[in-house]
């Protein structure tokens, strides 16, 4: 776990995520990047900092552009910001532990996605919609 310049605790990690890629490739494993802030980061660092820990993660994605040396255009980086998590599966014994944190290069503080501070959000453009939430197309 690390702290931003403003003292905000955060941790970054990758999770193995298998998916079916069709009959030619079968199942492949991808490793999306996640970032957690505040208490969620502290809890992840304290209780889930082992390679092989099975987690159910609820997250939303956020993105930012990063200039890569030698690249003509900035690259769009997508990370998933953890809202909450739960443990799944069985717990590994302490003699089998390794760090969960994959070697993800932490972004510079000015490249960190905005945290969930809602003090500066403007909701004036929103309106209440009447109706049954079950009728929504998503």
Q: For residue 68, how far is the Cα from the chain centroid?
A: 21
**In contact, 75 and 65? CB cutoff 8 Å:** yes
Pure H helices in the chain:
38-47
Q: Tabulate helix, strand, coil % of the chain (nearest 5).
A: 15, 35, 50
Beta bridge partners of 88: 54
Residue 99 is predicted with a pLDDT of 38
Cβ contact 33:12 at 8 Å: yes
The pLDDT of residue 128 is 67
Q: Indicate the domain borders of the chain.
A: 2-135
**CATH code reported for the domain at 2-135:** 2.40.50.140
124-129: long-range contacts, CB 8 A cutoff, minimum separation 24:
none
Q: Using one digit for the tens of pLDDT, what is the confidence trace for 53-109?
A: 888 889 998 888 988 888 888 888 888 999 988 888 665 544 444 434 444 455 555
Q: Can you give the pTM of this predicted structure?
A: 0.56
pLDDT tens digits for range 17-51 = 888 888 888 899 999 989 999 999 888 888 776 77
């Amino acid at each position: 776990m690390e702290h931003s310049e403003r003292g905000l605790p955060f941790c970054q990690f990758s999770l193995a995520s298998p998916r079916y890629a069709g009959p030619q490739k079968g199942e492949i494993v991808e490793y999306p990047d996640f970032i957690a802030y505040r208490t969620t980061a502290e809890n992840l660092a304290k209780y889930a900092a082992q390679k092989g820990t099975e987690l159910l993660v609820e997250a939303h994605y956020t993105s930012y552009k990063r200039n890569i040396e030698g690249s003509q255009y900035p690259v769009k980086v997508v990370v998933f910001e953890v809202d909450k998590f739960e443990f799944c599966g069985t717990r590994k014994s302490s003699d089998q532990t390794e760090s969960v944190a994959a070697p993800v290069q932490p972004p510079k503080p000015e490249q960190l996605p905005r945290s969930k501070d809602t003090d500066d959000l403007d909701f004036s453009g929103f309106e209440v919609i009447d109706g049954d939430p079950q009728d929504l197309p998503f």
